[in-house]
Amino acid sequence: MSRFHARLAALSAVVVLALGLSGCGINAIPRQDEQVKAAWSQVLNEYQRRSDLIPNLVNTVKGYAHQEQTVLTEVIQARAKATQTQINLPPDVLSNPHAFQQFEQSQNNLGNALGRLLVVSERYPDLKSNENFLALQSQLEGTENRIAVARRDYIEAVQSYNTMLRTIPYRWTAAMFYPDARVKQTFTISEQAQQAPKVQF
């Protein structure tokens, strides 16, 4: 075989190998992983946005409904626990069922406490007409809607990634090139439980 033919055979082998690797998802798996991470970052961002609104909301309600100390304390404690849980998230939270469930539960508890606070506000007409309260309530409702969208996007990204890790040929590719790749956790509580609290005027 001439040198030309040997080089041509080597080049052909490289092209076939490159096509084979691209077809088996060698780049698709890390690409999907990055999409999951980006979607998760957006979920955290929206939960932080909600957390940042709470002190002003609590202070506004306190000015009109200071006798509702129990509900106000519940919100403050739920916020503190949710913040602490978020700060202490382990690096593997997305593939760690226990850590993910703790995060999810703390955010759910905070949402429930906020819902109770908004129900309490119904008893105070002056509070319901306060401009600051109305603005905060509107921001909170918008944030809850953004949380729902971020959660949906995360769930879709995880579904795509997990499907890739469990199906052939990507499963083989992951085993060979990404042995640390693990299926990601997703939210289990209902979307209804995450909907923005409604306050009727």
Please write down the HEC assignment for all residues of the chain: CCHHHHHHHHHHHHHHHHHHHHHCCCCHHHHHHHHHHHHHHHHHHHHHHHHHHHHHHHHHHHHHCCCCHHHHHHHHHHHHHHHHHHHCCCCCHHHCHHHHHHHHHHHHHHHHHHHHHHHHHCCCHHHHCCHHHHHHHHHHHHHHHHHHHHHHHHHHHHHHHHHHHHCCCHHHHHHHHCCCCCCCCCCCCCCHHHCCCCCCC
Give the model's pLDDT for residue 8: 63
Could you tell me if residue 41 is inside a domain? Answer: yes
pTM of the model: 0.80
Q: Tell me, yes or no, whether 12 lies in a domain.
A: no
Q: How many domains does the chain have?
A: 1
Q: What is the pLDDT of residue 67?
A: 79
In a domain, 53, yes or no: yes
State the pLDDT at residue 122. 86
The pLDDT value given to residue 199: 43
Task: Give the pLDDT of residue 4.
Answer: 67
Q: Can you give the pLDDT at residue 13?
A: 56
Q: Is residue 5 part of a domain?
A: no
| Domain, as residue range, for 58 | 29-194
Tell me what pLDDT residue 20 has. Answer: 53
Residue-level pLDDT at 19: 47
Residue 186: inside a domain: yes
- Would 100 be classed as within a structural domain? yes
In this prediction, residue 65 carries a pLDDT of 84
pLDDT value of position 200:
43
Question: Is 135 a domain residue?
Answer: yes
In a domain, 2, yes or no: no
For the chain (length 201 residues), average pLDDT per consecutive 10?
Answer: 66 53 72 97 97 94 86 94 95 96 96 92 87 92 96 97 93 92 86 49 34
